[in-house]
Structures are given as structure tokens and as C-alpha cells.
Amino acid sequence: MKKMRFVMAISLYAMIFSLAVQAQTKPTHQLTPSGHEIVSPAAGTLQGLEAPYWSGEFLVQKAFYTHGPDDVSASLWDAKGQQVATPHIWFAGSSEMHFSAVIVSSANALLASGYAKKSDGTTAMFIAESDFAGHIGRVIQVNPLIVEHICVVPDGTVWAFGDDRNTKGYLLRHYDLSKGFLEGYLPVSDFVSVTSDPSAKWPAQSRGGRQPVYLTCTANTVGIYSGTTQEWIELNTTTRAISRYAIRPTQPYADAAPDGLAQVPSGRVYASLWRHRKLTQDERELGIYELQKDSSSGAASWVHLPSVDDSEPIGLLGNNGEALVHYQKGHVGLFSSQPKNVQ
């Protein structure tokens, strides 16, 4: 009898836990598409530049390397599909420049990170501001941090996530372009300690489609998606408290990973997921998901966002305010969708 009661208690606990997980992973929002292309198919297709992404109110393609002042560092298109800028960012005395990130930081300003190889053989890691023409404003040198990702908060300061050649320093760093380094968080040991993957020694580097890395900024938070440790890490910029969420595999697609991610001003996190197996393109593209976080357990799950119509949003490129900018199955242009509460 005692054994039967024990088994019944375990079964009841399992059922309650299953219901709790199901309740937690129900979609709380649905996508309301704009219904029309916001950027023409020709935008974001310049050869020699990297895949496009959305930054501020613009579609951006950046160069990976440039070899002279006449080389284009990035190309920007507005929401009408008009090319509005092709900045040429170049430091005098350089022999080569590498751009890890180029983002729109304000209405007519860019922020770029990377490194410049000088003619004397030395290398300078940098974060620099520029106008849309490529005229450089303030610049800070950030050696030994190899900056991979940058974002800007409303006070104009910059957060950078990168890798430290000395493997001892903080990898998430806060900068003022007039004052330099302000503060740092997340040493490499914070990543190595949670996984046996050797690539955790360089957690800011995206490695193929299976281990992408993203950095986001809102008014109150700095967020990091780490594909290496399968985590969402969030820094509260008011209290400086850090929260870490282990992301559960997305069922039934355990091999799924983000190929685009955005955090909107309200703090919600979205991603488009795709699979890495040898499938057709339609089978690999899974759609857009919301990250649901459970602060009590420290776990998080991707939950699929249904669309209010029969459209199939895929390929998230970023956000414009609360709206998500993405591709759509069966179309070549870009669309915008507004996540709204499920009624």
C-alpha cells in the first residue's frame, strides 16, 4: 500500500510538473504582420559585403575587411528600399581594417568596432563613431579586447562583448567614447565553468550556425545569447545584477538554433530558429520564437509565435522599436510584424 501511494504521489508530481511546463511554454504573443514589403528585394544584396541585418531604422550590410580608404565599409538602406549611405571608414596609416560590427547609433551616426592593422605591423582594436559618410568622430582603443559585438544604451555609452587575448579580463565591457573604459563583467571563467566545450575560452565568437552569439541593449538591460553555453545572460543596468538562464532544447527540434535575434524596448526577446540537418530550406526554417524565462528555476524556453494570418515569418533581421523585421516564406523582400498579446 505504501509503495502504491508513493508511485501515485510520483505520478501526480510528474503530471503537475508537466502541466506547469506546458502552461509556461504557451505563447503569450502572436505576430501581426504588416502585410506588405517594407524593403525592396534589391536592398541588402551587394556582393562583397556580409549578410544584411536591421539596425535602428536601416537595413545594413557591412564589410568584413577593407584594404584602402576607397573601400566601402558598409551600405545602408531605408525602409523604402533606397540606398542612403555607403560610408568609407578608414584610419590613416592603416594597411587593412577588419569590421566586427557596424551599427546605427543615432539618426545620422554609426558605431563601428574591429581592428586596424598598421603599416608598422601592429594591430589596434577599436570602437569608433562615424557619420553616414564615414567621417570619423571619437575613437577609443580597447586592446587587448577583441570586440565582436557592440550596442548603445540611451545615455550614449557603449557596451561591448569580445574575447580577451590574455584570457583573464572581463569580456563584457562598458565604455564612454570620451572617457574610455568604465566597468567590466563576465570573465572567461564564467563561461568555461558551465561547459566542457573548448570553444568556451572564446565565447564571443560565433561558430557557424550552431553556436551563434548576439548582444542586445535596451534602456534597462544588456543581453547576451551564448550559443556555446546555450544561455541567455542579462545584466540589469540599474542594479548591475546578472541573471543567467539555461535554454532548454526546442522540442521537437533539439538541433534548432537562432539565425537572428532581437530584444525589443519592452525587454522581450525573439529569435528566428532554424535546423542544421540536411533538409530542404522549408524544413530547416522553423519561424519566429519568443524566449520565455523562468527566474525561479533559471531556465528558459523558445516558444513559437503564431501569426494572425497564414503568412510564415522567418529569418529575423532585427527590430524597429517593438516591431520585428524579418523575411517571409514565399517572398524575397522584408516584412515587419508587431507581437501582440494573445487574446
For the chain, how far is it from start to end, CA to CA, in angstroms? Answer: 46
Question: Which cell is 245 given?
Answer: 538562464
Render pLDDT for 231-275 as a digit per residue (tens, 0 to 9). 999 999 999 999 999 999 887 788 889 999 999 999 999 999 988
- CA-based R_g, the chain, Å: 21
Nearest to 103 by CA among 159, 143, 155: 159
Residue ranges in the chain whose pLDDT is less than 70:
1-25, 34-36, 39-45, 167-168, 208-210, 278, 281, 342-343
CATH topology of domain 27-341: Neuraminidase (2.120.10)
Cβ atoms 43, 83 nearer than 8 A: yes
Render pLDDT for 6-40 as a digit per residue (tens, 0 to 9). 333 434 333 333 333 344 467 777 787 766 677 66
Q: Which amino acid is at 282?
A: D
Pairing of the two strands 231-236 and 242-247? antiparallel
Mean pLDDT of the chain: 86
pTM score above 0.85: yes
Q: Which amino acid is at 284?
A: R
Residue 35 Rama label (left phi>0; alpha psi -120 to 50; beta): left
Question: Which cell is 242 given?
Answer: 546578472
339 cis-preceded (ω within 30 degrees of 0): no
255 vs 235: CA distance, rounded Å = 27
